[in-house]
Amino acid sequence: MSEPWRRLPALSIKQIQYFVTLAQLRSFTETANRLAISQPALSSALRQIESVLGGKLLHRTAQGVSLTEQGQAVLPYAERLLNTAHGVFDDMQQVMRQGGDGTLRIGLVPSVSTLLFPAVPQLLSEYFPDMRVEFHDLTNDALLLELENGSVDFGIGATDSTVPGSVAIYPLLEDPFVAVVRRDDALAEGHNIPWRQLAKRDIAMFSKGNVSRLVTSMIESHRLNLHVGYRVDFQETLYGLVRSRLAVAILPELYTATLNDSELTVIHLQQPTLSRTVAMMRIPAPLRSPKTEQCFQFLLQTFHRQIKQKTERFI
């Protein structure tokens, strides 16, 4: 692409349109009527084109208009320029109608992916076929930042005291904390255990973020004598520590939705019950376009319907 500040010839797209239309209709009167301009204005525009290009494009006679040899040579280029201008203008209008480039940007924390895939992308494709969808995999803290700076349109994450007042929250479900242990662990004999039973065990959990803050706050507020021996960044590292009999992993249940390991099992923690609220989040101000707003409301209703159906299935 050439430099946008490079000086252009003193011609407008409308003047090119006048020349192409006149070349097709071969009549000043009909061309002026079709373009809703006066014949003197049309004649002036054609003289301007000829002056800038440096040659005569038309012969005007009593019988009508004919192109010179130079005019016939120039015409395909003028038509190409005019067609490109029409196409680009149509694209720009569509962008303005959509409030952006037609892309929906959804931020999500990794553990909520089971709420989305595979059904949600398929539904969006069906109901919003012209919308391109991007999924941005983010930590909860990064999601909040990207919501505030407008890098994503809305997101799905977890709430806690760090969610700023500028972010609107639409709760979806409560995601309880669980322990992941080996199947041959004595703790695996029950489906539920109180937190105090972990007192003599090394605990592994995420090193930072929403999950770490919630567990740390709960341990401190209930004065639990628990030893967090490992703080890691990745889910698979947690599972590796459990497989190696080095620790019991603590994390929200949604993280374990895709756990498919014959060596490991999931146990619910209680006394106290700890959960995080998974929610859709957005900036309260109107979203970029009506279509983006429609997508948000559609997904919100879809999630509520899916979660209700899953809940009823277990009642």
Question: What are the pLDDT digits (tens) for 262-310?
Answer: 999 999 999 999 999 999 999 987 887 788 888 999 999 999 988 888 7
Residue 64 in tokens:
């009508």
- Mean pLDDT, the chain, integer: 89
Average pLDDT rounded to a whole number, residues 78-95: 82
Q: Closest Cα to residue 218, out of 202, 196, 248, 188? A: 196
Q: What percent of the chain has pLDDT over 90?
A: 64
Is the pLDDT score of 89 beyond 90? no
In the chain, at which residue ranges do the beta strands (DSSP E only) sit? 58-61, 64-67, 103-108, 132-137, 154-159, 168-182, 192-194, 202-206, 227-232, 248-252, 264-270, 275-282
Which residues are bridge partners to 268 per DSSP? 178, 192
Q: In which band, very low, low, confident or very high, does the pLDDT at 94 lie, cut at 50, 70 and 90?
A: low
d(CA 9, CA 54): 12
Is the pLDDT score of 161 beyond 80? yes
Top pLDDT among 7 and 121 is at: 121
Q: What pLDDT, on the 0 to 100 scale, is given for residue 307?
A: 85
Domains of the chain: 13-91 (1.10.10.10), 94-172+278-313 (3.40.190.10), 176-276 (3.40.190.10)
Are 49 and 82 a contacting pair, CB within 8 Å?
no
Q: What percent of the chain has pLDDT over 70?
A: 93
- Residues in Cβ contact with 251 at an 8 Å cutoff, skipping those fewer than 6 apart: 177, 178, 180, 205, 206, 211, 235, 238
Average pLDDT rounded to a whole number, residues 135-140: 93
In sign, the C-alpha dihedral spanning 90, 93, 97, 101 is: positive
Q: Is the pTM of this model over 0.85?
A: no
Q: How many residues does the chain have?
A: 315
Top pLDDT among 64 and 193 is at: 193
Q: What pLDDT, on the 0 to 100 scale, is given for residue 99?
A: 55
Give the tens place of pLDDT for each residue, 192-208. 999 999 998 999 999 98
DSSP string, 96-164: HHHTSSSEEEEEE-GGGHHHHTTHHHHHHHHH-TT-EEEEEE--HHHHHHHHHHTSSSEEEEEE-TTS-
Average pLDDT rounded to a whole number, residues 153-176: 93
Average pLDDT rounded to a whole number, residues 195-224: 93
DSSP string, 40-64: HHHHHHHHHHHHHHTS--EEEETTE
φ and ψ at residue 255, rounded to 5 degrees: -60, -30
Q: What pLDDT, on the 0 to 100 scale, is given for residue 289?
A: 78
Q: Closest Cα to residue 291, out of 135, 147, 94? A: 94
Window from 83-97, 116-130, 226-240 with minimum mean pLDDT: 83-97
